[in-house]
Chains A and B, each alone.
Chain A
Amino acid sequence: QSALTQPRSVSGSPGQSVTISCTGTSSDVGGYNYVSWYQHHPGKAPKFMIYDVDKRPSGVPDRFSGSKSGNTASLTVSGLQAEDEADYYCCSYAGSYTWVFGGGTKLTVL
């Protein structure tokens, strides 16, 4: 149950796109299409952004998109806005009703 690997930080200017990677193993990211992503403003409740690799729950802007290739999942934020500045966490199902999260990525909007 090792944490998924995410870059510590990414940044972009308003209107640009950024991509956050999330690397696991064949026992989690690579083994299941059950990757989800969460946006977290410190001190607040995390917000559910993506599920099943690339699906958006209702209310999440289509600027947020997910994908996966092999053992690496990615979250792309297009048309960056100031309010997108937050910590982002990936999460993968790891079998037997267990989950593993990534270490988190701080997105800075320059």
Chain B
Amino acid sequence: EVQVVESGGGLVQPGGSLRLSCAASGFTFRRYWMRWVRQAPGKGLEWVANIKQDGSEKYYVDSVKGRFTISRDNAKNSLYLQMDNLRADDTAVYYCATGYCDSNDCYYAFEHWGQGTLVTVSS
């Protein structure tokens, strides 16, 4: 059974840092692009960052560029999001998601999601 489980959320002051983790199991982690998506209270989903299978390429939404860093450890089947200089508008539930691959190809979609971890930025 595929599982992705986020952890590391919590309450942090503006300007502070937090590191989110995502533990993956039940699939060949190193085969998939991995992604972070967030949902602010009362708002829709927002794509945050992607990382290629080998970690060589990383992409971010403009609002987090220079502040967030996505990384992965294929040996540990784990994905990370280092969040620095946090702002109040970063308050959200953060989801870890896999790309989508079938037996033939990989696609531009988000297949497996975790239940999210809540990050609250407030003084």
Q: Give the B-binding residues of A (Cβ under 8 A).
A: 1, 3, 6, 32, 34, 36, 38, 40, 43-48, 51-52, 57, 89, 91, 93, 96-104
Contact = CB atoms under 8 A, between A and B. Distances in A.
Interface residues of B, number: 26
A91 B45 contact: yes
Given A1-B61, A46-B113, A103 B108 contact: no
Interface string B27-51: 0000000010100000111110010
B59 A101 contact: no
Interface in B43-99: 43-47, 50, 57, 59, 61-62, 95, 97
B57 to A, nearest CB: 7
A44 B97 CA distance: 13
A102 B44 CA distance: 7
A34 B115 contact: no
A89 B44 contact: yes
A45 B95 contact: yes
Given A48-B100, A57-B111, A96 B59 contact: yes
Contacts of A96: 59
Contacts, number: 75
A89 B110 CA distance: 12
Given A89-B44, A103-B43, A104-B45, A97 B50 contact: yes
B109 interface: yes
B114 A45 contact: yes
22 contacts: A3-B46, A34-B107, A43-B115, A44-B115, A45-B95, A45-B115, A46-B95, A46-B113, A51-B100, A52-B107, A57-B111, A89-B44, A91-B45, A91-B109, A97-B50, A98-B61, A99-B35, A101-B37, A101-B47, A103-B44, A104-B44, A104-B45
